[in-house]
Chains A and B, each alone.
Chain A
Amino acid sequence: MASGSVADQEGQVMLLGFWFSAFVKRVEWALKLKGIEYDYVEEDLANKSTLLLTSNPIHKKVPVLIHNGNPIAESLVIIEYIDETWKQNTILPQDPYERAMARFWANFIEQKVTEPIREALVSQGEQQEKKVKELKEAMEVVEGEAKAKLNDKTLFFGGGNGVGYVDIVLGWTCNWMETIEEVGGFKVLDPESQPQFHKWMANVREVPFIKTTLEPKEKLVEFFRMVRQDRLGLVANK
């Protein structure tokens, strides 16, 4: 164990997660990008550990990163913490304006893609149609951004050949989006109207430290089908 100035960085890193969670995977990608050693703890959704409940008493959710005994929750907050604590292989750009643009797009993704797709997963009929419409509009914006930023030399939003903050935040789409579409019975992805975005997803899937973490689609479909049935079952029983 190193001592002195790198002692803080070398302190124990623990990640509490669920195998199916895209938010947890984001944090794992950030850790792997930096080459940080960490202990992964698989939580049980139906039986959350005392450690999880005391580390994130406000939300009681994963991911939670625990560094030197200090817990941090919320995937985007965790990723920024990782970037500021371990300086190698930067995730966010250095320039303040570029950082602001990366954060802006991360917010857009959360508000307009991530949140609505979770809602589409557990809704049906008119409610679901409304979310799907929102998602399609959001994907137009995403495709526009992909067209503007990406080309044969710039494969990722992080610039050049390396994934950056926006890639990590949006990366869940490369595996979870098709899964949720299948389970929810709707379509948002369209290779014809989203060619640049599909190219980007294909490139993300091939990033070595991302590729090894992607769960088999059938396993995810089975799990999210259960989530959907569970939530819709509750609504029907009201």
Chain B
Amino acid sequence: MAEEEVKLFGTWASPFSRRIEVALKLKGVQYEYIEENLTNKSPALLNYNPVHKQIPVLVHNGKPVAESFVIMEYVDETWKHNPILPTDPYEKAMARFWAKYIDDKLWPAAKKVVVTKGEEQKGVIDEIEHKMKNLEGELKEKKFFGGESLGFLDIAANIIIWLLVAQEALGMDQILNEEKLPALHGWLQRLLDDAVFKECVPPKKRHLDFSKVKFGSSIASK
């Protein structure tokens, strides 16, 4: 087997590049990590992702792949051990449906929470709770969305952690409380306890400080 060269362009605070780290680590793939400065993007990044000029980008033997779910599926299909997606086509479709729900519906609502206040913010929080309840329905009695071990949808749902950190940074009540979302709450504890996953979240204090600066100013400037 030829020498594999795997590079990941990402940023420490991006849930999207952290997703790829989880996928690669679950598969035991050796990779070189390149931390990008988004205010001063490297020529390499601009060369590898000319369309969006964004991270994450995975470069495998010189060939670039962009967009976090596209990269995750590529990783799963290229390194076939420890599958991330279910093998059954219907289960796979469900994982993709809910992953899309997270990025298309849950994440935009999560981003709104930090730039709204008062009644408007309350409305957004209700919306997020409702969407999380929907997501919780997919978890059912399982340990992880992926079953006994974490999979595609668990990795996709990592953005929930970013929402909670942002809420903590702003002194808000945590939306994922045990009373309202018991199953999802339990899932999150298991996720954060997972040996591989916990290496792929930003260090808490640094993340909090970063969020305070980032979101504190957006509220103040209103």
Which A residues form the contact surface with B (CB < 8 A)?
58, 67, 70, 72-74, 76-78, 80-81, 84-85, 96-97, 99-100, 103-104, 107-108, 141
Instruction: Tell me the bound Cα distance from A76 to B73 in angstroms.
Output: 14
Which B residues form the contact surface with A (CB < 8 A)?
51, 60, 63, 65-67, 69-71, 73-74, 77-78, 89-90, 92-94, 96-97, 100-101, 134
- Quick one: closest B residue to A97, CB to CB? B63
Residues of B within 8 A of A108 (CB): 51
Instruction: Tell me the bound Cα distance from A72 to B63 in angstroms.
Output: 33
Residues of B within 8 A of A141 (CB): 51
**Of B70, B78, B93, B134, which contacts A104 at CB under 8 A?**
B70
Residues of B within 8 A of A67 (CB): 90
A81–B93 touching, CB < 8 Å: yes
Q: A84-B89, A84-B92 are in contact. List 9 more A-B contacts (CB 8 A).
A: A58-B101, A58-B134, A73-B97, A77-B96, A96-B74, A96-B78, A103-B67, A104-B67, A107-B67
Residues of A within 8 A of B94 (CB): 72
Instruction: Assess A81 versus B89: contact at CB under 8 Å? Given A97-B74, A99-B77.
Output: yes
Instruction: Assess A81 versus B92: contact at CB under 8 Å? Given A73-B97, A99-B77.
Output: yes
**Of B70, B73, B78, B100, which contacts A74 at CB under 8 A?**
B100
B65–A100 touching, CB < 8 Å: yes
Instruction: Assess A100 versus B51: contact at CB under 8 Å? Given A80-B96, A85-B89.
Output: no
Instruction: Assess A103 versus B73: contact at CB under 8 Å? Given A72-B97, A77-B100, A96-B78.
Output: yes
A100–B70 touching, CB < 8 Å: yes
Instruction: Tell me the bound Cα distance from A84 to B92 in angstroms.
Output: 10
- Quick one: closest A residue to B88, CB to CB? A84
B74–A100 touching, CB < 8 Å: yes
Residues of A within 8 A of B96 (CB): 74, 77, 80
Q: Is chain B's interface secondary structure helix, strand, loop, or mixed overall?
A: helix
Instruction: Tell me the bound Cα distance from A81 to B66 in angstroms.
Output: 22
Residues of A within 8 A of B70 (CB): 100, 103-104, 107
8 contacts between A and B (CB under 8 A): A72-B93, A74-B96, A80-B93, A81-B89, A97-B65, A103-B67, A103-B73, A104-B67
B65–A77 touching, CB < 8 Å: no
Residues of B within 8 A of A85 (CB): 89
Residues of A within 8 A of B51 (CB): 108, 141
- Quick one: closest A residue to B131, CB to CB? A58
Instruction: Tell me the bound Cα distance from A70 to B96 in angstroms.
Output: 15
Q: What's the nearest-Cβ distance from chain B to residue A116, in Å?
A: 15
Q: What's the nearest-Cβ distance from chain B to residue A146, in Å?
A: 14
Residues of B within 8 A of A103 (CB): 67, 69-70, 73
B97–A99 touching, CB < 8 Å: no
A70–B90 touching, CB < 8 Å: yes
Q: What's the nearest-Cβ distance from chain B to residue A185, in Å?
A: 28
Residues of B within 8 A of A70 (CB): 90
- Quick one: closest A residue to B89, CB to CB? A84
- Quick one: closest B residue to A81, CB to CB? B93
Instruction: Tell me the bound Cα distance from A192 to B77 in angstroms.
Output: 40
Instruction: Tell me the bound Cα distance from A100 to B65 in angstroms.
Output: 7
A104–B63 touching, CB < 8 Å: no
Instruction: Tell me the bound Cα distance from A8 to B187 in angstroms.
Output: 33
Residues of A within 8 A of B89 (CB): 81, 84-85
Instruction: Tell me the bound Cα distance from A25 to B75 in angstroms.
Output: 31
Residues of A within 8 A of B71 (CB): 100
B73–A99 touching, CB < 8 Å: yes
- Quick one: closest A residue to B135, CB to CB? A58
- Quick one: closest B residue to A141, CB to CB? B51
Instruction: Tell me the bound Cα distance from A222 to B78 in angstroms.
Output: 48
- Quick one: closest A residue to B92, CB to CB? A84
Q: What's the nearest-Cβ distance from chain A to residue B75, in Å?
A: 9
Instruction: Tell me the bound Cα distance from A198 to B78 in angstroms.
Output: 35
Instruction: Tell me the bound Cα distance from A78 to B67 in angstroms.
Output: 20
B74–A77 touching, CB < 8 Å: no
Chain B CB within 10 A, most for which of A70, A76, A99, A100: A100
A96–B90 touching, CB < 8 Å: no
Residues of A within 8 A of B73 (CB): 99-100, 103
Instruction: Tell me the bound Cα distance from A84 to B66 in angstroms.
Output: 23
